[in-house]
Structures are given as structure tokens and as C-alpha cells.
Amino acid sequence: MLDSAMGQSVQELVMERFDWRSAGITLESLMRSYAFRPSKNRRRFVAEGDHPGERIVFVPPRIHPILPLYETTEDYLKYLPLELSEHLVLLVRSGHAALGLGTVDELRDVKVIRKYMVRKGQGVAQETLDSKKRVSSGGSQLRRRETTKFFQEISKELHLRSRQIALCQNLFVATPVRLWPQVFKTKPKPPFMSDDNRVVRLALDIKTPNRESLETFNEQLGSGYWAVESPVG
């Protein structure tokens, strides 16, 4: 991997994976040997390792991020919740969406949405084609209507859960960059804004959002790890 802070290639060796229950214990144990500080992007804690150029990294579970008010590991541990709070998970790809409310231990109120948005054999979403050229075939018109319905249904399902969403601490969203603005172009709009400070944008590394992939994605939100990074070459 390429470490932007060090400007050189480094190799990351994962030493231990843990879930949210043992995140605090694991970090406290590492703090006995290493002096950690938050990274610039606040996605991990970093410390100098035992050898020249070596770093120790602690990546906390996504449900317990390193907030701006946490200046030290002690701050992080002080405010680390002992119980799980509820959150929203929303996964969106062209023609496929899945959402659910709950905790990393269990999602409830799951909804899966599927519409005909991708041209068969090409794997290109209709909104992508529309941005490149004007199309007027019967198939493209159908896909355009389905695209509109797709985002309207996402907004509708979010609105049905607006009371629960208002109580969520985090809104975890994974969607291609080009689709994210489309979520907020519907009428009515979703019950939260794209710049809501509870929104956590994550990479979408699954092919099709469905119930199974949603539950797997959600479970991974509660996992973290610590590793050793060493310079390569």
C-alpha cells in the first residue's frame, strides 16, 4: 500500500482483528508499549514502531470513529460507548439498493429495492448514458422511468423510517460517487441532508446490494484491527 503521510510504499501486516466489545481493551494494551496519536484523516491511531521507519496502526471499528474532539487515545477511551447505539445502513448501486436500521449485532426493518436501470450486456446505468448523449429508444425510456422510480422509492422508504433515523447516531452510506447526489433530487427529499454530520461515507466493495450483503456489510462496521507498517525496499 502507499502511505500518503510518509510518501513511500509500506507493507501492512495485520496482527489482530477484534470487534467493538474488545476495542478498548486492545487499545489500552497497546498503549502500554506505544504512544499513539490520531492520523490526519482520523481513521486510525498511529505510533512509532520498534524499528526504524516502522509504525503501529490501530484502526477502530467504524461504529466508534475517532471524532474531532478526541485529541488523544485517552479521550477516545473516555468516551468509548459501553453499549451499542442504533444506526442506518444504506447501500446503493445502479438498480439495487438495501437499507436497514439496528446495530452491528442485528439489523431490523430491512428493505431491498430493485429496478431496471442497467442496459443488458453493457453494465452501464441509464443516468450515465444520459450524461453522455441523448437517447430515445424504448429501452432507454423505460430505464429512465425506472431510474426515477428507483430513487423515489429509496426516499420513500427512508421517510417511512424518519422517526427512527432521527434517533440514529450514525448514517452509514455506501454508494458510487455519481449516484449519491441522485438520492437527494427526489420529491420529497430524504429525511436527512447529504451534509448531515452523522453521515459516514464508506467504500462499496460489493457487487449487488441485497439482504445478505447488507447484513455482512453491517457486521463489518463493528470490526477493527491493529497492524504493523514497515517500509518496502
pLDDT along the chain (233 residues), means of 10: 55 96 97 97 96 96 94 96 94 95 95 78 48 56 83 95 96 95 90 94 91 96 97 82
Residue located via cell numbers 432521527: 166
Which pLDDT does position 169 carry in this prediction? 92
Amino acid 158: pLDDT: 96
Nearest CA-CA partner of 154 in 93, 203, 204, 107: 93
Q: Which residues pair with 88 in a beta bridge?
A: 101, 171
Given a contact cutoff of 8 angstroms between Cβ atoms, the answer to whether 233 and 53 are in contact is no
Residue 6: predicted pLDDT = 47
Cα 4 to chain centroid, rounded: 21
pLDDT the model gives residue 205:
87
- Give, for 27, the enclosing helix (H) or strand (E): helix 23-31
Q: What is the pTM of this model?
A: 0.82
First-to-last C-alpha distance (Å) of the chain? 13
Predicted confidence at residue 136, as pLDDT, reads 55
Q: Any idea what DSSP says for residue 62?
A: T
Rounded Cα–Cα distance for residues 79 and 75 (Å): 6
C-alpha angle 221/2/56, rounded to 5°? 60
Q: Are 146 and 116 in contact (CB under 8 A)?
A: yes
